Amino acid sequence: MRKLVLSGIIAASVAFAGTAMAADGAAIFKAKCSPCHGPAGEGTAMAPAIQGNDFFKKSSVDEIAKVVKNGREGAAKKYKQFAIGMPAQKTMSDDDIKAVVGYEKELANKK
């Protein structure tokens, strides 16, 4: 019985820790995206605004995640007025990408 209770406590601790460590889209955005897109997604001279952006409003999470993961360079650039393209974020986990895209969709709907 004691082992069963201990196993239950360990399982609950692991489940809680997993939830606490879930990806934080706002923190990831601040660290990886805001230098180009602005702290509140308002855009900069380097990259377009996310606030009010129809691509972020209308595209699915998977469509946006694909752009974040693979980037948009050269002929694939959507916003030709910016000198650089969207760099690929190949080192980000799928969970982190989905978290940041969820946050970006929130920002898009602010305007």
Residue 29: left if φ>0, alpha if ψ -120 to 50, beta else—which one?
Answer: alpha
**9: enclosing H helix or E strand:** helix 2-20
Is residue 96 in some structural domain? yes
What is the residue range of 70's domain?
24-108
pLDDT value, residue 14? 44
pLDDT value, residue 19? 38
**How far is Cα of residue 88 from the mean position of the Cα atoms in its chain?**
13
Does residue 38 have a pLDDT over 50?
A: yes
Is residue 11 in some structural domain? no
Number of domains the chain is built from: 1
- Looking up residue 47, the CATH number of its domain turns out to be 1.10.760.10
Is residue 87 in some structural domain? yes
Q: Could you report the per-residue pLDDT of 2-14, keeping only the tens digit for each?
A: 554 444 455 444 4
**How far is Cα of residue 93 from the mean position of the Cα atoms in its chain?**
10
pTM of the model: 0.76
Q: Could you report the per-residue pLDDT of 11-29, keeping only the tens digit for each?
A: 444 444 443 446 899 999 9
Q: How far apart are CA 56 and CA 59, in angstroms?
A: 6
Q: Which two tokens stand for residue 69?
A: 């993961």
Q: What is the mean pLDDT of the chain?
A: 85
Q: How far apart are CA 67 and CA 70, in angstroms?
A: 5
Q: Could you report the per-residue pLDDT of 75-100, keeping only the tens digit for each?
A: 888 888 998 899 999 999 999 999 99
